[in-house]
Amino acid sequence: MIQLAENRYGKSRVRLMKVTRHPHGNDLLEWTVQVLLRGDFESAHLGGDNSKILATDTMKNTVYSVARNSSAKSMEEYAMELIDFLLGRNPQVSSAEVRIASTLWKRLTIDGKPHPDSFMRGSGELQTTLVEKSQGGTFKIVSGLEDLVVLKTAKSGFEGYIQESLTTLKETSDRLFGTAIKAEWLYDAEGFDYEAVRSTIRETMLKTFAEHDSKSVQQTLYAMGESALNTVSEISEIKLAMPNKHCLLVDLSRFGQDNPNEIFVPIDEPRGYIEARIVRQA
């Protein structure tokens, strides 16, 4: 017997830019929003009956309409508003999920002062959140960041690993350590300053990365997650992924030159990939 096991649908890559205007200047946000709904949609799949289907174009319009009236000060708060709006209007929907990725814009500094209404794009880093809620349920909020590219030129080595017939990598106590951090953390509660907590987590992990005497990517990854959990009580776990963006020491001996760890070639592929989930014990 063949049956529909599960399904969901929605609208992805809804681009939203919001300007909040103040007498002293403006604030700017750029978000990419995804909405996914679960519910009683079996009739659409099995019989072509769309009477319970909210058009994905309507979801797109809902993103903009809710944003216009929103008083949210964070992605998390806006996602919760959007979910409550969708669940309230659609009893056939059993649960809704909203994912938001925020692009960084930085205020221009002109003559040493922040400009009130001009901005420049920041790095490729994305701030993210994933918010879920069932009808009559509570919110589950997982926030994070992606593509936070960092590099340290000291206090990093890699030694003592397995040496076997296919090993060609040389041990080193002094190497470049570059990575693109992806982090996701689970909130224990709701109703606090998500932006402040996000900033604290981010800065705590960056401080640990910079100051840690790294014996491996694994060791530094754990230290970063541990510091975030020790510093921020509002989260119960954090998952980190840190690809090792290699910078290879160039052999200049054939040119009659030495290379005291100064000339490298960065490569994109292949790369090491390390991830772990770190939790707070009850």
> Would you please indicate which residues are annotated as catalytic (active-site) residues?
11, 56, 246
In 10 A of CB 225, how many CB atoms? 23
Q: Residue 41 class from Cβ within 10 Å (0-12 exposed, 13-18 middle, 19+ buried)?
A: buried
Say if CB 220 and CB 227 are below 8 A apart.
Answer: no
CA–CA separation, 163 vs 174, rounded Å?
19
Side-chain-side CA neighbours of residue 41 (13 Å): 18
Contacts with 145 (C-beta within 8 Å, 6 or more apart), sequence order: 125, 126, 127, 128, 181, 182, 183, 198, 202
Q: Phi/psi class of residue 136: alpha, beta or left (left: φ > 0; alpha: ψ in -120 to 50)?
A: left
Tokens describing residue 218 = 């694994």
CA–CA separation, 174 vs 192, rounded Å?
42
**Which 3 state secondary structure label does DSSP give 162?**
coil
In 10 A of CB 185, how many CB atoms? 25
Tokens describing residue 279 = 């939790």
Phi, psi of 25 (to 5 degrees): 150, -170
Helical H segments across 73-124, by residue range: 75-89
